[in-house]
Amino acid sequence: MKKYLLALVFLTASAVGFEQEAFPVIPLPNSIETKTGRFVFTNCTQLHYNITDTDVRNAVMPLIEKLRLVAGITLYQKPKCKTPSMVEIAIDKSIVNDEGYVLSVSPQKILLKAKTTAGIFYGAQTLLQLLPDAIEKGSFQKNISWSIPCVVIKDEPRFSYRGIMLDVARHYMPMAFLKKLIDLLAMQKMNRLHLHLTDSQGWRFECKKYPKLTEIGAYRKGTPLNTTYDYNSRPNDTLYGGYYTQEQLKELVRYASAHFITIVPEIEMPAHSMSALASYPELACLDSNGNAFPYPQQIQNEYCTKDETFTFLDNVLSEVMDVFPSKYIHIAGDEASKENWAHCRFDQQRMKEEGLKNVDELQSYFIKRIEKFVNSRGRSVIGWDEILQGGLAPNATVMSWTGIEGGITAAEQHHNVIMTPAEYCYFNFYQSGSPGEPVAFCCMLTLPKVYSYDPIPDVLKPDERRYVLGTQGNLWTEYVPTYQNAEYMIFPRAVALAEVGWTNTALKQYEGFRTRLIKYLKRLDDHHVNYSRHLFEIKLTTSLNEEKQVTASLAGVDKEYAIRYTLDGTGPTDRSPVYAQPVIIEKNATMTAAVLQDGIVLAQLKKDFRLHKAVGKAAVLATPPDEKYNTGGNNAWVNGCLGNDEQFSDDEWLGWNGKEFNGTIDFGNATVTSSLQTRFFHKPNSWIWAAKKVTAQVSDDGKIFRTVAEKEVPVPSNDGAVPFSMSWQPVTARYMRIIAGPVEKIPAGNPGAGNGAWLFVDEMVVN
């Protein structure tokens, strides 16, 4: 087992090494000083705290309850033992951080001190993680020694805001799941659950003054049973939806508060509001013909900026603030196209009256007016980074999602910021290129990438850094129809983000985190969490060996988890060969590799290899691919390995934005060719379109090329990898050029209409 040397940056400047398996705490505490011996919990263990302080007892309740239920140990009875051991809990105002704690464990005594009950709660969570995993089992467990190693832990979070956002608007999530999520976030010392309560596809907050919001806005006609963005395709137009009553939400707030979690409610405005506008159409902008926009197709339609809208939103927000005590009320502000404002006579009138030059300034007016109301009730607003457009409202906190720039701009203006850039924090992105992944949103966000995130942008000056309150992982649920899917997308990425939000950068190290996470997964098992197992993922890289043969190298998580593989497309079993060295691909093959444990597939990978005439030949691209989509290198189109059937964001697909594919192969000597096979990715919702036309040219000198074949590609009827092939009379030449022309402009009526499309190209199989 490896040892990891950790620098201590908390209070002491010393360094200590410890085995991460012996202290499998997540998030990693900021200072661990190991001692010898163990403390054993028994029925002789006495709990000491200031008896009048019920809040302190409540903060250690998870420990008391789990010990009682699972270990059969009743901590707070006075034991009749001669030499009782003791757990002492004390408030200590000398501890600086509001959420910090000091935990000192010796063989006879545990002392847990914190400035506030939040710190006590977090110290108790650390104690629970030091106990055997079985403590999370939820029922009595026999024959376990309930002991923990002696240690002094001095700990405090790096950031005060450590959150997860769940979109309950696109898909309604049951209340029991929200409570389960709270349990799990609390185990990781996260302290915010941001609920995206309204969007065009559903209004989930009961509003007493406006009952139609839930009578009409909480239900839509049809939604697919499984995945997809198309909300209209459920058979028979079955109504889909649901909402939370205020009583249910108040109960949820109480439950969260007992776990030291604040629920941050979000009410979308001015866009993403079709569910409200379907309920109260008088608040909508009218289209250029004076008609309302249909529901729910126009997913980003805005409220009209007339006074009635502000009265409505003030009333809605009043009820929201009555239910949710959170200091922060999220008022969104994202992705308003504002197109309707440019046509609607009420909005034009508003701009004239207020002297606003453009629709960005109208949006800023909107947000500032709402902020003023929220501030008048003693609360503060959070908005997505678009609220910077047209000028930031005076006291607003910015949630930076489109990148880190919004967060930087806001911090430079001395506004608080929560960093949640999609690239690191969007849990609706794929987490793996494994076969059978549930359909997800556009891009790839792996566990190590989440872990690598540092919420403080380098460019911020020291005095600006304090405006970064923390970070949050966001799960949008367009493609997440059930809570089981939600768990799959959130875990374990949320566990990695918990460490990002808590542990100082100098101590973070992915290998150590992974060691602790593998143990932590047992606890998630005991909570019946449907987490994804990509942690055990296999990475395949292809290369050419000295003989120019295609070679596949596999890397896994650890030697303990052997990789087995086949080359015939069948799933590996316990009898398949164990991967030991790079595999030479001698003919067309489908490699399937897996990590198996007790017959369960922990990870699986499937790759198709096609050996053809261009593999390993010198190849150049006239225009390099976009740097986000060239992870397999610029030769990925002639490396013999095909891309993922379902996702374009793996190492084998190359992507260009608004540009053509133009690649030239030098076969080295005159070579006969007669066909080309390839695939384009097609996913109009993500602005990705298959090529329009493919041309193959050959040349003898690499200068003068002649066209040998040209073929139009019909617009595909389905999303995904679109096969393409063409052939020609055999021709002999040394060079070949392949040009795949993009769809120049995304056609009207599609997302991103008028913009250049993305073009994604797979292997160019030349024979």
Contact track, ligand ACM, 371-410, x by CB under 6 A: -------------x----------------x---------
Total residues at interface with ligand ACM (CB under 6 A):
4
302 binds ligand ACM (CB under 6 A): no
Interacting residue with ligand ACM among 92, 287, 319, 335 (CB under 6 A): 335
308 classed as catalytic? no
CB of 334 to ligand ACM, least distance (A): 4
CB nearer to ligand ACM: give 300 or 566: 300
Nearest distance, CB of residue 101 and ligand ACM, angstroms? 34
- Annotated active-site residue 48? The verdict is no
Paired tokens of 320: 């929201």
**Is residue 146 a contact point for ligand ACM (CB under 6 A)?**
no
Percent of residues in the chain assigned helix, strand, coil, to nearest 5:
25, 30, 45
Cα radius of gyration (the chain): 29
Q: Which of 194, 272, 612, 682 is catalytic?
A: 272
> Pick from 167, 334, 646, 650: which binds ligand ACM (CB under 6 A)?
334
Does the footprint of ligand ACM cover residue 427 (CB under 6 A)?
no
Which residue of the set 319, 335, 361, 719 is catalytic? 335
- Cβ distance 180 to 197 under 8 Å? no
Cα separation, 610 vs 613, in Å, equals 10
List, as own/partner pairs, every contact residues 365-369 make where C-beta atoms lie below 8 angstroms and the sequence separation is at least 24, other chains included.
365/305, 365/390, 366/269, 366/270, 366/305, 367/331, 367/333, 367/393, 367/396, 368/393, 368/394, 369/310
Q: What are the phi and psi torsion angles at 154 (to 5°)?
A: -120, 120
205 contributes a contact to ligand ACM by CB under 6 A: no
CB 301 within 8 A of CB 293: yes
Asked if 423 touches ligand ACM (CB under 6 A), the answer is no
Structure tokens at 328: 């922060």
Quote the CA–CA distance of 736 and 734 in Å, as a whole number.
7
Q: Measured from the CB atom, is 384 or 579 closer to ligand ACM? A: 384
Q: Catalytic residue at 335?
A: yes
CA distance 51 to 74: 17
Helix (DSSP H) and strand (DSSP E) numbers for the chain: 18, 36
C-beta separation of 382 from 398 below 8 A? yes
Instruction: Assess 429 for contact with ligand ACM (CB under 6 A).
Output: no
Taking CA 181 as the corner, what is the angle to CA 425 and CA 213, rounded to the nearest 5 degrees? 85
579 touches ligand ACM by CB under 6 A: no
CB of 359 to ligand ACM, least distance (A): 18
Q: Which two tokens stand for residue 145?
A: 């020694």
Indicate the SS3 state at residue 253. Answer: helix
Would you give the binding string for ligand ACM spanning residues 243-272, x where CB under 6 A is met? ------------------------------
The two tokens of residue 321 are: 């603030």
Residue (470 or 625) nearer to ligand ACM, CB: 470
Using the minimum distance from each CB to ligand ACM, give the nearer residue, 382 or 589. 382
DSSP character string of 598-617: TTEEEEEEEEEE---TTTTS
Residue nearest ligand ACM (C-beta atom): 334
Q: Kindly tell me which of 148 and 267 has the beta carbon lying closer to ligand ACM.
A: 267
Report how far residue 102's alpha carbon sits from residue 264's, in angstroms, rounded to the nearest whole number: 29
Options 136, 199, 371, 650, the catalytic residue: 199
- In the complex, least distance from residue 384 CB atom to ligand ACM, rounded to whole angstroms: 4
Taking the complex as a whole, the smallest distance from the CB of residue 477 to ligand ACM amounts, in Å, to 12
Active site residues: 199, 272, 335
Give the binding site for ligand ACM (CB under 6 A). Answer: 334-335, 384, 401
